[in-house]
Structure 1
Amino acid sequence: MPHTTVEYSGVLADAFDRPGFAKDLHSAIVSVADGRAGGCKTRFVRQDEMYIADGSPHYAMVHIEIALLSGRTAETKRALNQVVLDLAREHTEATPRLEVQFSVNIRDLDRETYLGHTEPRAGDA
C-alpha cells in the first residue's frame, strides 16, 4: 500500500521516464506521507485515445491518482501533491509541440475496510 495509477498520453511515451518517476514517487510517498516502501505499487496506463480541451493534437496529459490508507492530514496530502506534481514534470522531457497538462489527486482508502495480502515468493517460507 499505497496504490498509484498514472494515466498518460501515448504521445508522451518516449518523453515520460516512467521507471525514474516511479522510483522517486515511492521515495516521496515514504518521506512525505509516511508510506511503506515495500507496499508501494505504481501502474502506468498509456492512453492513445483521449480528447483534451478542443480536441487538437497539441495537447497531452499526465494524471496521477494516489490511494493512501486514511488518516493523513490535509497538509500532508497537499505537500505530497506538490512533490508528485514536481516529479512528474521533472521526469517528462520538454515537448515543444505539445501543451502537457499535469494533475495529481490523492484519495483515501478506508482503513476499516481495506484488505490486502502478500503471497511470499517460493523458497522464502
Structure 2
Amino acid sequence: MENSKAVSTLMVTDRSPRETGRDNVKFPYRKVVGALGLMNLMIATRPDISYVVGVVSRSLENPTAEDVSQVKIILRYQNDTENLGIVYCPDRNSSALEEFSDAHQGGDVDTRRSTTGSVCKYAGGTISWLSQ
C-alpha cells in the first residue's frame, strides 16, 4: 500500500446492513487491524483514526470484501497524513483543559448500537482520546 493513491477521507459512510453470508477474503485483515497494526497506531499516536478503527474491528472474525476495502482506505489515508502530528503550544491558554465529546445514537447499521467519543486537549494538543 506504500505507493497507493492518497485519500483525504477515512471512511465510506454510505453502507447498507451486512449480509449474513461472508466472503472468503485473502487479506491479512486481523493482522493489519489488530494489536500490531491500526489499533496500536490509534492508541499510541493517531486519535483521528479511532472511530473508523473501532468500526473495522467489529468484523475481525470474518471480514467481507467491503471490510477489506475500508481497511485499505485507512491505510491510504495514513500514507497521505504520515507527516501530521499532535502539536502542543505552551503559550496557548496552557492553564485550561479542554474536553469535547459526541455520540452517534444507533449508528451501527447492523446492530443499531451507539458510538460515543471524547477528546481531551491541553495546550492545544490532544492528550487523551476515546471512541467506543
Q: Do Structure 1 and Structure 2 share a fold, with TM-score over 0.5?
A: no
With structure 2 as the length reference, what TM-score do the two structures score? 0.27
With structure 1 as the length reference, what TM-score do the two structures score? 0.28
The higher-RCO structure (CA 8 Å, 6+ apart) is 1
Structure with greater strand percent:
1
